[in-house]
Amino acid sequence: MEKLRLKIHRSNRWIVAICDSEIFGSKFSKDGFSLDLSTNFFNGEEIDTESARKKIRQGLAEDASFNIVGEKSIALALEEGIISKEGIKNICGIPVALVLL
């Protein structure tokens, strides 16, 4: 079963941080670009895809913003319709998407 890391930051507006579990804790850097998944920002609970799907839907109901990193997390966001393929960028070969609602 696939595992993702998901953390909800609650303030005036929710920010949902999602990344693939196997890349959590990593740092990537190339050609002046960097991606740091070792910070507290992505240090949420490790959950399965269906639990992540429910939390994404909950975040949408709360008008959340999303930070999504990794192939599995991006695939789930595509399935849920919160991103399009055109909104996916690659940083050091890792797919990344931001959703600001």
Number of folded domains in the chain? 1
CATH of the domain at 22: 3.30.1860.10
Helix, coil or strand: residue 41: helix
Residue 23 reports pLDDT greater than 90:
yes
Residue 22 reports pLDDT greater than 90:
yes
Report d(CA 76, CA 12) in Å as an integer.
25
**pLDDT per residue over 27-49, tens digit each?**
988 888 788 999 999 999 999 99
The one-letter amino acid code at 72 reads: K
Q: Please compute, for residue 80, the number of CA atoms within 13 A of its CA located in the half-sphere on the CB side.
A: 23
**pLDDT per residue over 54-85, tens digit each?**
999 999 999 999 999 999 999 999 999 999 99
- C-beta of residue 71 within 8 angstroms of C-beta of residue 81: no
Structure confidence at residue 11 (pLDDT):
86
Report d(CA 68, CA 19) in Å as an integer.
6
Helical ranges in the chain per DSSP H: 49-61, 71-79
Supply the pTM of this predicted model. Answer: 0.93
